[in-house]
Amino acid sequence: MIHNKNVVLGVTGGIAVYKSVELLRLLVKEGANVRVMMTQNAKWFVGPMTFEALSRQPVCSDLFDGKSDASIRHIDWAEQADVVVVAPATANMLGKLAHGIADDALSTLMMAVTCPVILCPSMNTHMYESPATQRNLERLKEDGHFIVTPDSGDLACGTSGPGRLPEPADIMDRIFHFLSPKDLAGKNVLVTAGPTQEFIDPVRFISNPSSGKMGYAIARAAEYRGANVTLVSGPSHLVPPKNVEVINVQTAVEMSSVVFEKMASAHIIIKSAAVSDYRPVVTAAHKIKKEKDTMVVEMEKNPDILFELGQRKKDQILVGFAAETQELQKNATSKLERKNLDMIVGNLVGDPNSGFGTDTNKVTFFFRDGAHEVLEEMEKDAVAHALLDRVLNRI
């Protein structure tokens, strides 16, 4: 979303300026062309050299710094910007922006900006909660600016409460959210992710190496695109996507009861979880001792959640996944038909860059009408967006 885009990073004077350095690094890592504009006060906290080195561009903090293009730089930068992010945004800067005051380089640039503006307030809790700041934030929202809600916690001034600049990775997440088209607005999307764990005794279980990355990427992408997302997740170490209802489960039986409870309100159901097909017939009440040389665990079938969804579905889009080590097309299309799906994502597993635990994936989409589409290897986030694009086409 920001690859090769012009981003202006506005930095105003607060203790959180050190986080803007990391934010700049993340923006550059995403391929953005970032220009930094600092207020004079911001320079007390971190020097412009740091921002210049990371952005590889001159930093602007003064419209009248004697350089030949200085007096028109704010207009050029404003016109060329695809997005402006102000982090941290002090109470003073929010007040100026809300009232159209342009008395320094950054506030002057902001008057000329026509692209999306993302403001990240950061200040002492009382300053943040003051009627003036809240009034200014409301006005800025009405003006069409996006506001990243500050985190709550201990602040540098010794108080505790809302006002902390979110971590740079979280600001990036919200930048992607704000910049995404809201083509799934009003849609309820139900996603399953991760493995299930089927217990043999209280300390041992049968499972698989699913990390949850694919399902979490789908939930995150759907949230970016405006959907109301419920994520039913097997055990995973991943940080849950923001603004998503996450329901944690452990076993296939638990997953099935949550999914069936939630299915009625879902417009789109995407089942990327790696559900254990079988569970032990008996779960021992206590740890099994290693008394015998061999051990047999009798297993019984788990509910096939996807099959059952296919039977019950009404006017809903149902997408399954098929993790296969061979004969991808044959196995995936047979599941597509048997389970009454609209689409299935054939996923080659057992490849170092695809399947369980990887950041990238190699998938083929198979559709109900017999069409299929082979995707090149890509990040799971990109697979998630491609999948949602195809679902939207079908809707």
Q: Which is nearer to ligand PMT, 134 or 353 (CB)?
A: 353
Give the span between the Cα atoms of 154 and 305, in whole angstroms: 44
Q: Which is nearer to ligand PMT, 50 or 340 (CB)?
A: 340
Q: Which is nearer to ligand PMT, 130 or 331 (CB)?
A: 331
For the chain, what is the largest distance between any 2 Cα atoms, rounded to a whole number of angstroms?
Answer: 85
The least distance separating ligand PMT from the CB of residue 236, rounded to whole angstroms, comes to: 8
Instruction: With H, G, I as helix, E, B as strand and everything else as coil, classify residue 184.
Output: coil
Helix, strand, coil share (%) of the chain residues, nearest 5: 35, 25, 40
Q: Which residues pair with 279 in a beta bridge?
A: 300
Q: Which is nearer to ligand PMT, 175 or 349 (CB)?
A: 349
Q: Which is nearer to ligand PMT, 7 or 270 (CB)?
A: 270
Instruction: Calculate the alpha carbon distances from 252 to 81, 184, 395 in Å.
Output: 49, 28, 29
Instruction: Select which of 60, 115, 120, 157 is catalytic.
Output: 157
Q: Which residues bind ligand PMT (CB under 6 A)?
A: 194, 210-214, 252, 271-275, 277, 302, 304-306, 320-323, 335, 347, 349, 355-357
The least distance separating ligand PMT from the CB of residue 274, rounded to whole angstroms, comes to: 4
The least distance separating ligand PMT from the CB of residue 290, rounded to whole angstroms, comes to: 30
Residues 6+ apart with CB under 8 A from 75: 112
Contact by Cβ (8 Å): 50, 36:
no
Q: Tell me which residue of 211, 313, 300 sits closest to 262, measured CA to CA.
A: 313
The least distance separating ligand PMT from the CB of residue 348, rounded to whole angstroms, comes to: 9
DSSP category for residue 193: E
DSSP category for residue 43: G
Give the span between the Cα atoms of 328 and 180, in whole angstroms: 32
Instruction: With H, G, I as helix, E, B as strand and everything else as coil, classify residue 343.
Output: strand
Q: Which tokens go with 45? A: 């906290």
Q: Which is nearer to ligand PMT, 119 or 214 (CB)?
A: 214
Contact by Cβ (8 Å): 145, 188:
no
Burial label for 294, CB within 10 Å (0-12, 13-18, 19+), is exposed
Q: Which is nearer to ligand PMT, 349 or 388 (CB)?
A: 349
Active site residue 157: yes
DSSP category for residue 268: E
The least distance separating ligand PMT from the CB of residue 378, rounded to whole angstroms, comes to: 13
Cα distance from N-terminal residue to C-terminal residue, the chain:
24
Q: Which residues pair with 299 in a beta bridge?
A: 280
Q: Tell me which residue of 83, 102, 187, 191 sits closest to 144, measured CA to CA.
A: 83
The least distance separating ligand PMT from the CB of residue 170, rounded to whole angstroms, comes to: 21
What residues act catalytically? Answer: 157
